Amino acid sequence: MKKVYLASDHAGYELKSALGAFLGERGYNVEDLGPLSYEPLDDYPDTIGPLARAAADDKTAFGIAIGASGQGEAMVCNRTPGVRAAVYYGGDKEIVKLSREHNNANVLALGARFLTQEEAKDAVLLWLETNFSNEERHVRRIGKLN
């Protein structure tokens, strides 16, 4: 089953814990990169940076970064070579699907303050179950990112 790295800041801690259990129950190989306890004064780069490096190093794995909006988490991830992070904080889940089909996103950044747990679970499953299209135009475009 697919390997999924999880990390958050304090704002995403509760959702990260719920998603870890949810994905584990579905057979995903989940590795929680922290924080392992609620830390109200933590700094998201401290936990999201290791997640980004893990997702970049393990080409078959995925990362889910969770914060208040997901924006800062995506910024940390997208500064890491080999990571293509997409942000989702609610609304039409088609954007989640397209991030995999067209951009081969390997990290999904979630905005915990804008999603219910059920919305996040639905989006994460859709994202993990969507494959990259491998269409030449998408491969070419991703190649230009490097």
Q: CA-to-CA distance for 110 and 80, rounded, in angstroms?
A: 18
**DSSP tag of 133:** -
Judged on CB neighbours under 10 Å (0-12, 13-18, 19+), 119 is middle
Q: Phi and psi of 91, rounded to 5°? A: 90, -155
Active site residue 135: no
Active-site residue, selected from the candidate residues 73, 101, 118, 135: 73
Active-site residue, selected from the candidate residues 14, 31, 101, 102: 102
Q: CA-to-CA distance for 102 and 57, rounded, in angstroms?
A: 21
Active site residue 10: no
Q: Give the residue numbers marked as catalytic.
A: 73, 102
